[in-house]
Chains A and B, each alone.
Chain A
Amino acid sequence: MMFWRYAGRRLVQTVVTLFLLLTIMFVMFRLIPGDPTTMLLGTGELPPEAQQQLRAAWGLDRPMWEQYLSYLANLARGDLGLSLYFRRPVMEIVLPMLGNTLILMAPILVIALAVGIWAGAYLGWHRGERVEQIGSLIALLPRALPIFWIAILLLMLFSYRLGWFPIGGMREQFFYPETWIQALPGYDLVMHLTLPVIAGAIYFISDPLMITRTAMLEVRGEDYMQFARAQGLSNRRLRQIARRNAFLPVLTYIAIMVGFALGGQVLLEYVFSWPGMGRLMVNSVAQRDYPVAQATFFLMAAVVIVLNFIVDLLYGWLDPRIVYD
């Protein structure tokens, strides 16, 4: 029963965190000076009088608490409001971009996690050996390089120089296949996806790798591993035990990583002109498009929080030594 009390408490915490998050988002974006109508002033096409009229029409002239209350009320009805910039429902703006981001980030995450965890466990197990010394060094390298730099290098080499892949975007307009390979379904998308996925995978691989490696090192020295070794278990079996025990911190990290992945990678998307969440987030902040900005940031943070909640519950199942009190 301890578990259910714990789960209940964590659930309440999660809900409160989400609510606070909503509020902070609401306040933070409005703390930046200017609103969407101000942004239009900069072009000189909107006189100050017309600005006032727009603010009134969009409810931006009402006191902040009033805007906040109506925001919450709408939210309770599942209505995220109209984008101030696009004048379309927020979800209509966010969902396609979220889809594009998932197409980009899902393969990156799968590759980075699969390769990272596997390689991390391998290196951790072979602590002190030459392969570990060299491997760790190589593994740290991409972490030290900014993602846009990796991306630009790949672009320069494979797009500009060799011409193997397109420069950017997600699809080519008026794509006419010329060979049977090009006629394969999804060929165009895959061609556009290859470089950004490689860049992302290279960049993202270090974290799970290093975390798994460290966790492996810790686990290796534990008493139960000594005991297992003394029992004469096979090397393969020992590694299995170690891997399972080393998985906890990695799991926590995955929860955070998935959240950030949903937010897209601004620089990656910028370099490859990928129409995704990252670009949407930056643009919506720059345009002071509060409803869209709030929705995108909230979505990203909410995924992190909810996944963490799930991971916390999973902890006990994965590691029976954890006691809930």
Chain B
Amino acid sequence: MSSNALETELTRRRLLQFLGALGITSVSGATLAGLEATIREARAQAAPGSVMPKLQAMSPNWPDMIEIWRQATRDYAELGLEVEVQQGTLDTWVAQVVGEHKLPHLVSMSWGGAPDRMDPDFFLNEILNSKRAVKGGLNYGHYMNPAYDEVANAQRVEVDEAKRRQLVMEAQAISAKDNPLMVLFHRDIIQAYNKAKFGGVTPIIGNGIGFPYAPLSYLGLEALTPRKVVKITSIYDIASLNPFLTPEVYNSSVLRQIYATFVTRDKDANIMPWSLESWTLVDPTTMDLTLRPGQTFHDGKPVTVEDVKFTFDYILKWKFPALARVVDSVKSAEITGDNTVRLKLNQPYAAFVPNVLGFAFIAPKHVWEQVPGNSGLASPADWPNDQPVGSGPWKYVEWRKGEYLNLAAHKEFFMPPKLDGLVLLPVPAIENQIGMMERGEADLFGWTMDVTQGKRLGQNPDIEIVQTPTHGMHEIRFNLAMAPMDNPALRLALQHATDRKKYLDIIFSGAGTLANNTMITPVLKQWSNPDVPNPEPSIDKARQVLKDAGFTWDGNGKLKLPS
């Protein structure tokens, strides 16, 4: 090789090195450029009386979302309306839409059934309250209605349950009239377990049989073979063993198997006592907690009111972002008796019991009072907590990142697990999880699959498929801050043009609950407003609505804006 050729070779190689180093970021770059163009396109507005500009939509690149848009674009085309869909990975979607509120006309998303979303406050306030129309808030559709805000805020501080229910119904009625979003359906959770090896499986609303959201789902499990340890799959691994660190749902749910919360939910989603024996609202901002006697931490030390007070003081002192709801709502905690603690709240909070007492946990004082000590850490949230000590039904044994988390039964728990242990296996590919179920390498499918996968897996005589309704939802959000989506007639017409039943049947083989025109699933009967059904699916009705609002069509059937 001549020195010239060598030079060429070196240049080429350097270029290769460069490209290799940028491999993944350049892909993201392309997606981003696409998103930017989508928004530019969406901002280009048409003059009154001219043909409607193409509606731009943004969606995560999940198969079910893509399929929803495939159906929707076809339906909307019948109105003479063109929709162009841009897909992105979930992380770019979140950064753009939630983080920056940079979105085009339409955006689609699905919300999982996290336990705190059982309470109507999450969907009513986080998604539609105008105070959440700031960057980072979930009201990225910029729905602003003072009348709605008033009712949504009022239900949040109304501690009388009957009165609150009235307000929750009213809030749903107001938003249903304004159509700031289209709620499509609440997809069922489809899971599986090995019935030859395990029994006592109890499906729980919103949790099914295998998500770790609700601790009850693992407590009833019984082994039918000598192996008393159940292996559960999940697509995620946890990030940390520190319960103060992350607000991420999966991680905190798993840690709440180790760190018992104050209350929890039973299989019908009713609140049930857990570490607490009872609680009483003395007045709207004072609550007495009575600790269940006889509990112990995993290191054998008793759980006392000292630990309860310490936990609240600790959270208030360090203001852990992961426990923001506690920090926002609790003012102070005082010991009032051998087994009682009195909490003072900043303001009345109707969802306090499920969403604060159901999320906060008891931390052992004797462990955490020494953290961070002189470790040089900025916050106890940075403490690795390699040997977590909690008082929950399962105690920590071993965590091997990316491979498994091994937990053992805490037999002294007041409702002791019937098994000896559980192993959580992070398996990123659903197909592998199904394969592991089929081969007996896993006993419980801890994620959700679709109906066809369930049917196939169900042919195995050892496998039982379980389908559970959830409060999670699929939606298409309108960007009300961008013309022409600010036109209520157009939004109503799109509602009419969307045949939810058809979508649910095609995409999920009908496995789900059709939504009302509200984010709260009809399955949660006490909260869902049955009087706000979705506008009837009918292209004719949709056309009529548009016609009445002054929209016209050109010779080619294209929709024209009102002049």
Contact = CB atoms under 8 A, between A and B. Distances in A.
Interface string A84-123: 0111100001001100100000000000000000000000
Contact of B401 (A96, A167, A248): A96
Given A45-B248, A174-B227, A252 B13 contact: yes
Given A259-B20, A271-B429, A308-B13, A87 B382 contact: yes
Interface in B424-476: 425, 427-429, 432, 435-436, 438-439, 441
Given A45-B114, A168-B432, A170-B403, A32 B32 contact: yes
A32 B95 contact: yes
A260 interface: yes
Interface string B82-102: 000000011111111011100
B379 interface: yes
A248 B6 CA distance: 11
Contact of A53 (B22, B99, B319): B319
Interface stretch (A65-73, A129-137, A284-292): A284-292
A198 interface: no
B239 interface: yes
Given A260-B20, A281-B24, A323-B3, A45 B14 contact: no
A149 interface: no
Contact of A50 (B242, B324, B379, B406): B324
A42 interface: yes
A169 B427 contact: yes
A171 B441 contact: no
B19 to A, nearest CB: 10
Given A41-B99, A174-B229, A87 B381 contact: yes
Contact of B247 (A46, A82, A286, A312): A46
Interface of A is mostly: helix
A166 interface: yes
A247 to B, nearest CB: 12
A286 B90 contact: yes
B231 interface: yes
A173 B232 CA distance: 11
Interface string A51-67: 10110010000000000
A87 B13 contact: no
B231 A173 contact: yes
Contacts of B381: 87
B200 interface: no
Interface stretch (B134-142, B301-309, B480-488): B134-142
Interface in A9-59: 17, 21, 24-25, 28-29, 31-34, 38-51, 53-54, 57
A48 B429 contact: no
Interface stretch (A155-163, A178-186, A199-207, A236-244): A155-163
Contacts of A275: 401-403
A172 interface: yes
A219 to B, nearest CB: 12
What band does the interface of chain B fall in when counting residues whose beta carbon is under 8 Å from A?
35 or more
Question: Among the interface residues B99, B111, B322, B379, which one has the most CB atoms of the partner chain A within 10 A?
Answer: B99
Contacts of B99: 33-34, 38, 41
B505 interface: no
Nearest to A148: B429
Contacts of A321: 1
20 contacts: A17-B17, A28-B22, A33-B32, A42-B98, A43-B248, A86-B239, A97-B401, A97-B402, A160-B438, A168-B427, A173-B423, A252-B9, A259-B20, A270-B429, A281-B24, A285-B24, A287-B91, A304-B17, A304-B20, A321-B1
Interface of B: 1, 3, 6, 9-10, 13-14, 16-17, 20-22, 24-25, 28-29, 32, 89-96, 98-100, 111, 114, 116-117, 122, 126, 132, 134-138, 227, 229, 231, 239-240, 242, 245-249, 252, 319, 321-322, 324, 328, 378-379, 381-382, 384, 401-404, 406, 423, 425, 427-429, 432, 435-436, 438-439, 441
Query: Would you list the 4 A-B pairs with minimal beta carbon distance, nearest first?
Result: A34-B95, A275-B402, A48-B136, A42-B94
